[in-house]
Amino acid sequence: EAGVTQSPTHLIKTRGQQATLRCSPISGHTSVYWYQQALGLGLQFLLWYDEGEERNRGNFPPRFSGRQFPNYSSELNVNALELEDSALYLCASSLEAGDSYGYTFGSGTRLTVV
Amino acid sequence: QKEVEQDPGPLSVPEGAIVSLNCTYSNSAFQYFMWYRQYSRKGPELLMYTYSSGNKEDGRFTAQVDKSSKYISLFIRDSQPSDSATYLCAMSPSGTYKYIFGTGTRLKVLA
């Protein structure tokens, strides 16, 4: 069974640009979660999508947005990039919405803003 | 004060040692407790989860929750170099999904 896949693996952008990150969940999983892992800060919850709808978002500005497609894959968009947006962005999926028994994470997209 | 506190390490131990990794937390609403292992350049993988208080054992790993002290631990017996990774604790209030993660402890097991 394929795990959670994320693309691209690495992304380098200039301050002010937009970045688009993609995630494909495990087959059959309908919930997708996005986390930011910045150096020294641990994983910070960004967004939760389920059945195509945004269910909740963390304490991040509106320039962090995303969507979930009918096939349950998801996209995270970060507009007006700032240097502090440099981090590992992790996507996770779960079989049940808001699953409390642990996620399956992808390997992440390393975003570097210069 | 952070909701979840975790010593960043690094923690270096010789092969075969018993490792103790710990997290403290401040929110008494947390009911679900998890430990993830994250190898370099990889996403976290779920190792253990426990609900409420008590112990749970899985092979060389034991997770312990002490809700009265707001303290959780992960013990690794007979540690191996392949256990070298960052260990993250994560917690969630009952009935919700939004996990709060610790910053992770880097573990190095020396051959």
Cβ contacts of B99 on chain A, cutoff 8 Å: 43, 45, 103
Would an 8 Å CB–CB cutoff place B92 in contact with chain A? yes
Q: Tens of pLDDT along A40-70?
A: 788 899 999 999 999 989 999 999 999 999 9
| B104, HSE (Cβ side, Cα atoms, 13 Å) | 22
Nearest by CB to A56, from B46, B98, B103: name it: B98
Please state which of the ranges A23-27, B74-78, B98-102 shows the lowest mean pLDDT: B98-102
- pLDDT value of residue A13: 98
Backbone angles phi, psi at A57, to 5 degrees: -135, 150
Would an 8 Å CB–CB cutoff place B14 in contact with chain A? no
> B102 exposed, middle or buried (CB, 10 Å; 0-12, 13-18, 19+)?
buried
Residue stretches of chain A with pLDDT short of 50: none
Q: What is the dihedral of CA A84, A85, A90, A92, to 10 degrees?
A: 120
- pLDDT value of residue A41: 80
Cβ contacts of B101 on chain A, cutoff 8 Å: 35, 42-44
Give residue B49's pLDDT band: very low, low, confident or very high (50, 70, 90): confident
Would an 8 Å CB–CB cutoff place A92 in contact with chain B? yes
Question: What string of DSSP letters covers B49-111?
Answer: EEESSEEEEETTEEEEEETTTTEEEEEESS--GGG-EEEEEEEEETT----EE---EEEEEE-
